[in-house]
Amino acid sequence: SKTPVIDRRVRALVLVAVFWAACLAGPGPALGADAIEVRAAHIERSAAGDGWSVSADFQLPLPARQEDAINRGVPLYFTIDFELIRPRWYWWNEKIAQASRTYRLSYHALTRQYRLGLDATVRSFESLGEALDALSRLRGWQVLEAGQVEPKVEYEARLRMRLDTSLLPMPFQVGTIANRDWTLQAEWKRIRFEP
């Protein structure tokens, strides 16, 4: 009958998930949610003059567990989130815009290179440190069209970077649910913005 075959597959899948959960939950320093830090951020006119761009520098220490995962061929995904809010004293704040972009950091064993991908663009690096340096520098990301904001109105922009565990392979997602070492994200950095 087909039932024993399905049972064996389910058991095998559970064993793989337990194995990866055990790997992730091994001993190591517990890192809080502030492991990533936004050091500096500002908004300026985009190069084409048709909107506004954000640039930022992040402090991005990568714990040993994540470094080990990359070197074993597991890609990590880092998402940068942006929000623009118009404060209102008479009502709830108005959210004007929000945007996200996700980078894929991986190791290619055949070429012994680290790769950092954004959409269809992929850059290669000789070392993990070089790839992290590139990831920690955000430059000229257009987040607003010219017509989305009004001149002489004060806005509050917010920016953060986080390790997006929802994009990890399923066995890793199971192991990261209750593991604080995989909760890497910056506190929101607030930027005063007046066009």
Angle formed at CA 132 by CA 127 and CA 137, multiple of 5 degrees: 135
Q: pLDDT at position 193, please?
A: 94
Q: What is the pLDDT of residue 115?
A: 97
Mean pLDDT (whole number) for 8-25? 49
Identify the band that residue 33 occupies on the pLDDT scale cut at 50, 70 and 90. Answer: very low
Percent over 90 (pLDDT), the chain: 59
User: Mean pLDDT across the chain, nearest whole number?
Assistant: 83
Residue 178: pLDDT band (50, 70, 90) is low
- pLDDT on residue 171: 63
User: Range with the lowest mean pLDDT among 27-31, 121-125, 157-161?
Assistant: 27-31
Closest CA to 160 of 101, 77, 94, 88: 101
Please determine, for residue 1, whether its predicted confidence score (pLDDT) is greater than 50. no
Residue at token pair 């929802």: 166
Distance from C-alpha of 95 to C-alpha of 88, rounded to nearest angstrom: 11
Does the pTM surpass 0.95? The reply is no
What value does the mean pLDDT take over residues 93-122? 95
